[in-house]
Amino acid sequence: MLKVAIAGGTGYTGAELIRLLIRHPKVEITSVTSEQSAGESLVSRLPFLKGLCDLTLEKFDPDQLAKKADLIFSALSHTKAIASTRQWIDAGKKVIDLSADYRLQGDGVYEKWYGTAHTEPDLLKKAVYGLPEIYRHKIATAGTGPCLIANPGCYPTSALLPLYPFLKSREVNTTREIIIDAKSGVSGAGRAATDKTHFSEVNEGLVAYNIGIHRHIPEIEQEVSLFGGTVIFTPYLLPVNRGILTTIYLPLKRALSQAQLETILEEQYKGEPFIRRVNAPPNLAHIKGSNYCDIAVFATIKGNTAILMSAIDNLVKGASGQAIQNMNILMGWDEQEGLRSPGFFP
Amino acid sequence: MLKVAIAGGTGYTGAELIRLLIRHPKVEITSVTSEQSAGESLVSRLPFLKGLCDLTLEKFDPDQLAKKADLIFSALSHTKAIASTRQWIDAGKKVIDLSADYRLQGDGVYEKWYGTAHTEPDLLKKAVYGLPEIYRHKIATAGTGPCLIANPGCYPTSALLPLYPFLKSREVNTTREIIIDAKSGVSGAGRAATDKTHFSEVNEGLVAYNIGIHRHIPEIEQEVSLFGGTVIFTPYLLPVNRGILTTIYLPLKRALSQAQLETILEEQYKGEPFIRRVNAPPNLAHIKGSNYCDIAVFATIKGNTAILMSAIDNLVKGASGQAIQNMNILMGWDEQEGLRSPGFFP
Amino acid sequence: MLKVAIAGGTGYTGAELIRLLIRHPKVEITSVTSEQSAGESLVSRLPFLKGLCDLTLEKFDPDQLAKKADLIFSALSHTKAIASTRQWIDAGKKVIDLSADYRLQGDGVYEKWYGTAHTEPDLLKKAVYGLPEIYRHKIATAGTGPCLIANPGCYPTSALLPLYPFLKSREVNTTREIIIDAKSGVSGAGRAATDKTHFSEVNEGLVAYNIGIHRHIPEIEQEVSLFGGTVIFTPYLLPVNRGILTTIYLPLKRALSQAQLETILEEQYKGEPFIRRVNAPPNLAHIKGSNYCDIAVFATIKGNTAILMSAIDNLVKGASGQAIQNMNILMGWDEQEGLRSPGFFP
Amino acid sequence: MLKVAIAGGTGYTGAELIRLLIRHPKVEITSVTSEQSAGESLVSRLPFLKGLCDLTLEKFDPDQLAKKADLIFSALSHTKAIASTRQWIDAGKKVIDLSADYRLQGDGVYEKWYGTAHTEPDLLKKAVYGLPEIYRHKIATAGTGPCLIANPGCYPTSALLPLYPFLKSREVNTTREIIIDAKSGVSGAGRAATDKTHFSEVNEGLVAYNIGIHRHIPEIEQEVSLFGGTVIFTPYLLPVNRGILTTIYLPLKRALSQAQLETILEEQYKGEPFIRRVNAPPNLAHIKGSNYCDIAVFATIKGNTAILMSAIDNLVKGASGQAIQNMNILMGWDEQEGLRSPGFFP
């Protein structure tokens, strides 16, 4: 049994990690930390786990975590675990970081978007971007020793998975922006109460936010720019608990038929365990609680713009499920271990 | 035009007062205060009112309010305006207090439930409990001079309106507790963000809270005890924005038929403008945004327990609409002035 | 008092017409029809109106409606009132048709999208498209005699109002498609129960539908094509009761700054009573129940694409409120009569 | 591997059976029937299962089911499988019936509540009521041969589990009615679209229904009457997908303290795998997707009435999870097999 620890276990991504890891047959959770509730039972903060997990929440202590675990999921908010991650790597551990701290590789990009210089630039360079459908080989290779996986953000996952086959196909017209219109459930904003996530403010509403300034823009562009592309990204706060539905208006170099578009998708993703190609528009109702990314593509009349749609659960494929998928790859296990179960419907 | 001011205008009850008063033909809002946003436009905090109200939010200053208005709606949180209310009354104003500060008349009751001694016990004694369907005459009489109306709480309104005809009928078996099971929308918890009202915690959930210790218990019991009754009160947080649906299991001295029960209700409330007797169970969907209290009564097989149900909008009949109804009575106006409009459906 | 009748009064647009007309000082509702519930009280089907409207629902009889009313709101489903409308016009009435029957002017367009030839092509030609912010003068002129207003669809209203100033400015690059991504609350799908609008299927979901084949596409294109533009239109079913939030990605001929974009909007809509230009992204939560259309525009980094956003209540500005606005213009009344009230929040 | 079939697999309880059985290590689903969609892929009706189940839906044919499976879950609507159940039993199969057909044992009770005489009265007598926490031994004994388990209704499960320890304790005052106030999510009403479950009618509403005439009343009373008790039962339609929160006002023979009440609960349910005794009021948000029944008890001031609260997922412990629990007992397997996983939060 692999010993794993979770730094920051009572937020939504931490809770989802525990929910999924409890069923994982090759893993034992040895430690869960909480900034606010150290010393209390985990169940006091996550009552849905009563009867399934009797851990006591611990103060965040990087040394202790390194002693107790061989793999650490870091689910703290950004900047909080930059230094600790260095410690863990030096101690020979594997680290999967669910924050944005080790995702942005460009010089000064982290500082520009997070307002503070990155204090571990060398380690940053070594981090592997943990999008298995694109970087599976790099992840697996990293897993042979101590390593750091930068687990992708929820919006970038929802955007890059449908985009990647088309970017790779070189059919995208990169002189025009790729338009990404992405609607996210409220758990994506975290568990801390804010004015913007107060029930009566969100319920029966819909609103875009952070137009042009959302911190997931540089993460998306880091990948898209490898193919010469640029993006316009519009995120929305949607009155549901879970899920991101992303629609992409993709400029093409030439008109492509529905069949041609589907072929591009199929060729890239045939056999991928967590990509489901669907013919109807994907629905958030069908991916809640699962690690699937449902993807559809639609041709338009003129044909020079394709419409891509993806649906993921922001807490699973957009965070904790993908982190476990990365762990499975790192460890050389079946990639679907612990993730094979369906979501819930309705 | 009567000049009115609103102390605490950017919470949900304040916003609802403004929404309703804007349409009131005999009233002009001269001042709205905000603890957090003084100096900003009202619309910056309440964008739904853009184009309808161009006031600037003011710092709370009781003297200024007294200068600017003849009637003051106090929608501050409890204890905040106890002293100011005294000032306003001394300055000859009419005050309608939407907080709980002047509702609890019994010796020491306020202190017991709010943890601090009441600093204006004399004024407290003079306050009139503003439930028009029961105390219309007292309210109207008070309105001939400076006066203080203690506007009822939302739960007490939803419970006392259906209960009153039966208590008055002397058919209630007061040796058993009256059971009040009351489900409230989230706006009843106020506009301040809290862990308990975070969207993802409330949505797709339902939970009771403050069993046996909710501060509306003494307010309900103050009225029920006039008839010798006692209550068990269970409030719930319901994942909707507005509305309280209250079910009351009422012990009777003898078996009463459906017709007998309906007659009791009808005799008390015939002609009441804001009480709607309904035959089917009342639905929150039918009272949202209106000042109506829908009430139904159902006999049971044995007949010794009646089931009463009421539906109100906690922000209208449970707070701001009722406050305006009280103002209309105080001023000798048509009681329905500004309140005649339907709610919204769906 | 103008006598008005509503054909099809128990659907959501019919209910909203009644809700709004009850408060309209110059109108008397003389007849409301219902296909399923003729002979029953209106309140039996619309309990939220209890105490406010004591009409009995009538069988749909075009002759009777013409006798009872001078203006008829036709809120029947498409094709149901094509012939009756001709009758009403011949009888000298004014008709405001909330269906799609008299909106599509092009030869064969109606047949193409609705699967049946239009049986009143001459009358169709005379119908005025009732978008007051664009066609106010034509509507007012029509009102001098018997006339037919084709009240716009909800999606077209939400798209055309933000688009119009930019189309008119001739800054739009019409060689690229205008992308319209529009999220609608469930009341837009009507009141009849369907598998797709079953609560548990919609709640906690989000899904696009009718991509490329939605019947509002030809209506939008009819106006956009006047300026040489074409559109890609993606509608979504959103788990809220009311509201359409529409985002438009608008290709421009040249880079425009934020200030330039705002000026275009301001110049067109200055003084418009129901257009609110907002700086933050519009939120469905702020327009529920009101006749407002909130519009914002955002420049992008490259500047060759503008992002437009609008929020309307599909049942008010997207249907019944706009119908009343049209009535006010037809009658030469204050355009805001009966529509001046705020929506509800939260 | 046990071969199991599901009659009626595309409703919500059928879907939930499949969701849970997919993960069950000792079971193979060999056949799923659908009245409307026979011949189509299961995934066409349940897209959330794509990639996890490649069955084709079959026409309901009792003979075929008996050939293909050793245990049959019957999730058809009531009356539809009464005769087939007899056939299956005669063929030596085990049957777990999720409908109400074999639950009501009293003479004429089924006919009274379902409007048609029961056509298999002999088999009805042999059916075992499948509430494991009460009838575990009878279920296990039945499992030694062909047998019929009448899987309890969702409301009865939510009411009987908290009630049973207190009824058994003989502390209940049976001269007064036990009051059961039970709020259910919409999936409890099934997957067929109806006017009452249309999204816009349910969302932002709350309403009681079938007061005094709900078909779960005789099922609850069948058990309660064994202890001399009678009930008043009020069900509500709650705007959430899943879950039943039931509050019971329990008349006691004498005042009992909080500690005494908790002891009664603890003594009965110590070691029960799916009963979680909680101190705070149970919350629907904490049991979604799991087979747990969370139960709390609260003393009141006078003490002669106890407040019991339970939370279950109506589709899991209230239907399909409990059916699998029954299967596990019948087969002599670990009762938690396939049910050990947490629900989802949020």
Please report the pLDDT score of residue A311 as a whole number.
98
Q: How many residues does chain B have?
A: 346
B180: in domain: yes
User: Domain containing B258 — which CATH number?
Assistant: 3.30.360.10
Q: Which residues of C touch B289 (CB under 8 A)?
A: 289, 344
Of A187, A273, A342, the CB nearest to D48: A342
Same domain, A50 and A173: no
Q: What is the pLDDT of residues C326-339, one digit of tens each?
A: 999 999 999 999 99
Residue of B nearest to C311 (CA): B48
Query: Hey, is the C-beta of C238 within 8 angstroms of any chain A C-beta?
Result: yes
**Interface contact A15-D345, CB threshold 8 A:** yes
Interface test with D, best of C199, C242, C284 (most D CBs within 10 A): C199
CB distance from A193 to chain D under 8 Å? no
CB-CB under 8 Å, C242 with A204: yes
| Nearest chain A CA: its distance from B26 CA (Å) | 31
pLDDT of residue B127: 98
Task: Spell out the alpha helix ranges (H) of B149-302.
Answer: 154-169, 199-202, 216-224, 258-269
* Closest CA–CA distance from residue D344 to any residue of chain C (Å): 13
d(CA D60, CA C68): 55
State the ipTM, two decimals.
0.97
Residue with tokens 């110049």: C267
Q: Which residues of B touch D212 (CB under 8 A)?
A: 298, 300-301
Alpha-carbon gap, residue D137 to D332, rounded angstroms: 11
**Residues B120 and B168 grouped into a single domain:** no
Mean pLDDT score of chain C, rounded to an integer? 97
Whether the CB of A147 is below 8 Å from some CB of chain B: the reply is no
Query: Minimal Cα distance from B185: which residue of D?
Result: D204
Cis peptide before A281 (omega within 30 of 0): no
Q: Can you give the pLDDT at residue D169?
A: 98
Handedness of CA A266, A268, A273, A277 (dihedral sign): negative
Q: CA of A106 to nearest chain D CA: how many angstroms apart?
A: 35
Write out the residue range of the structural domain in which residue A79 sits. 2-126
Q: Cα D133–D139–D140 angle (5° rounding)?
A: 105
Do D219 and D88 have their domain in common? no
B199 and A204 in contact by Cβ < 8 A?
no
Domain of C45, CATH number, reads: 3.40.50.720
Last residue of a domain, one of B107, B126, B145: B126
* Burial of C87 (C-beta count, 10 Å sphere; 0-12/13-18/19+): middle
C-beta contacts of D90-94 below 8 A and 24+ residues apart = D90/D146, D91/D66, D91/D146, D92/D145, D92/D146, D93/D66, D93/D69, D93/D146, D94/D70, D94/D143, D94/D146, D94/D147, D94/D148, D94/D149, D94/D327, D94/D330
Express each pLDDT in A60-81 by its tens digit.
Answer: 999 999 999 999 999 999 999 9
Cα nearest neighbour of D185 on chain B: B204
C249:A239 CB<8 A: no
Chain D residues within an 8 Å CB radius of A346: 12, 187, 241-242
Residue B90 lies in a domain: yes
Question: Side chain identity at C280, as an amino acid letter?
Answer: A
Same domain, residue pair B164 and B267: yes
- Residues of chain C in contact with residue D192, where contact means CB-CB under 8 angstroms, are 198
Partner-chain residue, chosen from B23, B52, B342, that has the shortest CB–CB distance to C52: B342
Query: Environment class of residue B264 by beta-carbon count within 10 Å: exposed (0-12), middle (13-18) or buried (19+)?
Result: middle
Nearest-neighbour CA in chain D from A72: distance (Å): 22
Helix (H) or strand (E) holding C217: helix C216-224
- pLDDT above 90: percentage of residues in chain B: 100
Q: Are A307 and A247 in contact (CB under 8 A)?
A: yes
Degrees to nearest 5, angle at CA D121 with D118 and D127 = 110
Residue A258 half-sphere exposure toward CB, CA atoms < 13 A: 8
Is the sign of the CA dihedral B137, B143, B146, B152 positive or negative? positive
- Half-sphere exposure in the Cβ direction for D67 (13 Å, CA): 5
Tokens 């829908």 sit on residue = B294
Angstroms from C342 CA to nearest CA on chain B: 6
Could you tell me if D186 lies within 8 Å of chain C, comparing CB atoms? Answer: yes
**CB distance from A212 to chain C under 8 Å?**
yes
D102 backbone φψ class: left, alpha, beta (φ>0; ψ -120 to 50): alpha
| A interface test, pick of D48, D290, D315 with most A CB neighbours within 10 Å | D48
Task: Report the SS3 class of residue D74.
Answer: strand
pLDDT of residue D37: 97
Q: Which tens digit of pLDDT belongs to each residue from C70-99?
A: 999 999 999 999 999 999 999 999 999 999
Numbers of helices and strands, H then E, in chain B = 12, 13
Chains that touch C (3 or more CB pairs under 8 A): A, B, D
pLDDT in tens, C19-73: 999 999 999 999 999 999 999 999 999 999 999 999 999 999 999 999 999 999 9
Beta strand B305-312 with B244-251 is antiparallel
Place D341 in a pLDDT band, splitting at 50, 70 and 90.
confident
- Judged by CB atoms closer than 8 Å, whether chains meet at C207 and A284 is answered as yes
CB-based contact A49 D342, cutoff 8 Å: yes
Q: What contacts B144, CB < 8 A, 6 or more positions away?
A: none
Question: Is residue C7 a contact partner of residue C72, using CB atoms and an 8 Å limit?
Answer: yes
Same domain for B176 and B75, yes or no, is: no
Whether the per-residue pLDDT at C341 is higher than 90: the answer is no
Question: Catalytic residue numbers of B?
Answer: 154
- Interchain contact B290–C (C-beta under 8 A): yes
Selection from B85, B134, B101 nearest residue B268 by Cα:
B134
Cβ pair A198:B200 closer than 8 A: no
Q: Which amino acid is at C65?
A: L
Same domain, B199 and B300: yes
pLDDT of C297 reads 98
| B183/D contact by beta carbon, under 8 A | yes
**Which positions of chain A have pLDDT values less than 70?**
none
A284 in C contact zone (CB under 8 Å)? yes
Interior CA angle at D339 toward D338 and D340, to 5°? Answer: 100
Q: Cα separation of A83 and A116, whole Å?
A: 14
Given the residues D53, D147, D154, D293, select the one marked as catalytic.
Answer: D154
Across D130-148, average pLDDT: 97
Any CB–CB contact under 8 A between D183 and chain B?
yes
Active site residue C53: no
Q: Judge: A290–D50 Cβ closer than 8 Å, yes or no.
A: no
Note whether residue A137 is domain-resident. no
Contact B203 A239 (CB under 8 A): yes
Rounded Cα gap, residues D53 and D47, in angstroms:
10
B68 with B178, same domain: the answer is: no
Distance in Å, alpha carbon of A239 to nearest chain B alpha carbon = 8
Percentage above 90 pLDDT, chain C: 100
Q: How far is A4 from chain D (nearest CA, A)?
A: 19
Q: Could you give the residue numbers annotated as active site of A?
A: 154
Euclidean distance between CA atoms B217 and B203, whole angstroms: 26
Q: Tell me, yes or no, whether D214 and D302 share the same domain.
A: yes
Question: What's the confidence (pLDDT) of residue A341?
Answer: 87
Is D15 in Cβ contact with A292 (below 8 Å)?
Answer: no
Distance from CA of A335 to the nearest CA of B (A): 30
Q: What is the pTM of this model?
A: 0.98
Tell me if chain C has a CB within 8 Å of the CB of A318. no
pLDDT mean over C203-220: 97
Q: Do B200 and D346 touch (CB under 8 A)?
A: yes
Q: Tokens 């079959």 belong to which residue?
A: D58
Over residues A303-324, the pLDDT tens digits come to 999 999 999 999 999 999 999 9
Mean pLDDT value across residues C264-269? 98
Residues 91-120 of A with CB under 8 A from C: none
Chain D contact partners (≥3 CB pairs within 8 A): A, B, C
In this structure, the answer to whether residues C183 and C105 fall within a common structural domain is: no
For residue D302, how many other CB atoms are within 10 A of its CB? 12
Residues A88 and A160 in one domain: no
Nearest CA in chain D to A341: D23
- How many residue pairs bridge chain A and chain D with CB atoms within 8 Å of each other? 82
Mean pLDDT for the stretch of residues D154-182: 98
How many Å lie between the alpha carbon of D283 and the closest alpha carbon of chain B? Answer: 5
**Residue C338 falls inside a structural domain:** no
Query: Is residue A158 domain-shared with residue A57, that is, in the same domain?
Result: no
Minimum Cα–Cα distance from A249: chain C residue: C179
**Among C44, C312, C320, C345, which would you mutate to test the B interface (most chain B Cβ atoms within 10 Å of its Cβ)?**
C345
**Do C99 and C176 belong together in one domain?**
no
User: Is residue C336 in a domain?
Assistant: no
Alpha carbon distance A245, A313 (integer Å): 9
Q: Which of C208, C230, C283 sits opposite A247 (nearest CB)?
A: C208
Give the number of C-alpha atoms closer than 13 A to the C-alpha of residue C295, restricted to the C-beta side. Answer: 32
- Structural domain count of chain D: 2
- Are D298 and B211 inside 8 Å of each other by CB? yes
Which of C53, C147, C154, C293 is an active site residue? C154
